[in-house]
Structure 1
């Protein structure tokens, strides 16, 4: 894939917090593993007892070295990277079980495409790109209709990549549950007039992921 070695950011719950499992969390297409969103959701998850492992796809690692923006790698490269990361994490003795996989936008979508193959305990996607913005006729849901891995998708109700009315008639697998966050955009951020704020939504997501981890095998 690349000569640049994989690097990880591992955030753990405070010592007094009971660990409930681990989540390998991939970034979206345009922002790195230490973006504001990734850092914020990681903080909330550790508060809820989840150990979070962040990593970067090859194109983002290259961007970090050169400072030049690059488009995402081809899908086979992204999926192979997920396989490598998952294998590495499963061999670590310092990551509490169960080990869940997931990510923001593209990172979550790629995780969803290998979840069954890897035998992951569960899948957590944040702002799933169900379709390109403005093109709901181009749904990317075929594998979500047959998935067997327990999966949670956290989606803002005004996310241009997939809103409730656009997904109401899509028959997803019984293993997949969508949690709708009121007025959230693709970053799960609501407008001030909604009466909600992003930190509340992220806290709710983290609490839900923690409960989910406790119930995964």
Structure 2
């Protein structure tokens, strides 16, 4: 596996960092890629992000992670939604237009806020072979009446969605989530992390390491991608 740090231009004044992990046997025109966006409180180098980024590449996928501008500049407050969306678009464009690495199938994945922004792009017509949410921020903590689902009905019928959710996630009440999933026109898969919180952390009494929890989640994601790829080839 090869890893390369690349800068991507977002606006004339803003560039962000990205890391591209390429499996040794990856063939762009025949392969699949995952772009992974971080959540509001971390950046692309957070252990959570690095674990999933590497796991995707080890599974044979071109794996790309990136920073949003505010994290590139060392700030705490997230950028406004238009800039977050423009950043996602620029990274997608960089992957799709790469002469050697442009994939046949592209999946958009994100931790919390990163996934939410990807869903807004998809609702605006950005195409991909699937959306992957690693802890979707369905609502603010203890405010289940403030749902972030108004755009779900505009998602494409041809873009399947995978939710990976911890059963203790304070930002995603599972009963509420399941009641809202019918809004999404495309096929939806819900994979639960038993005892996991918003970052899939489980209680110590569970007797399982954090790395093992993340690896199980990553395996579920890559299996889901493999099934989608098979459907896309008509096999």
Normalising TM by the smaller chain, what interval? 0.7 to 0.9
Alignment partners' CA distance in 1, 2:127 and 2:120 = 12
Among candidates 119, 131, 136, match of residue 144 of structure 2: 136
Matched, 1:8 2:25: no
Alignment partners' CA distance in 2, 1:42 and 1:76 = 25
Give 1:216 shift: 4.2
Alignment partners' CA distance in 2, 1:37 and 1:184 = 13
Residue of structure 2 equivalent to 1:127: 135
Residue of structure 2 equivalent to 1:66: none
Give 1:200 shift: 2.6
Residue of structure 1 equivalent to 2:197: 185
Residue of structure 2 equivalent to 1:205: 221
Alignment partners' CA distance in 2, 1:201 and 1:84 = 27
Give 1:78 shift: 0.7
Question: Structure 2 stretches of 5 or more lacking a match?
Answer: 1-10
Cα pair 2:96 2:103 within 8 Å, conserved? no
Give 1:86 shift: 1.4
Task: State how 1:35-114 maps to structure 2 within 5 Å.
Answer: 35-63=46-74, 69-93=75-99, 94-114=101-121
Give 1:195 shift: 5.3
Alignment partners' CA distance in 1, 2:105 and 2:130 = 8
Q: Which has the higher strand share?
A: 2
Cα pair 1:20 1:213 within 8 Å, conserved? no
Alignment partners' CA distance in 1, 2:14 and 2:45 = 18
Matched positions, count: 212
**Per-residue CA shift, 1:132-153, capped at 9, x if unaligned?**
1111111101112331122111
Residue of structure 1 equivalent to 2:126: 118
Among candidates 32, 35, 48, match of residue 21 of structure 1: 32
Cα pair 1:10 1:53 within 8 Å, conserved? yes
* Partner SS, residue 109 of structure 2: strand
Distance 1:17 1:114, change over 3 A: closer
Alignment RMSD: 2.4
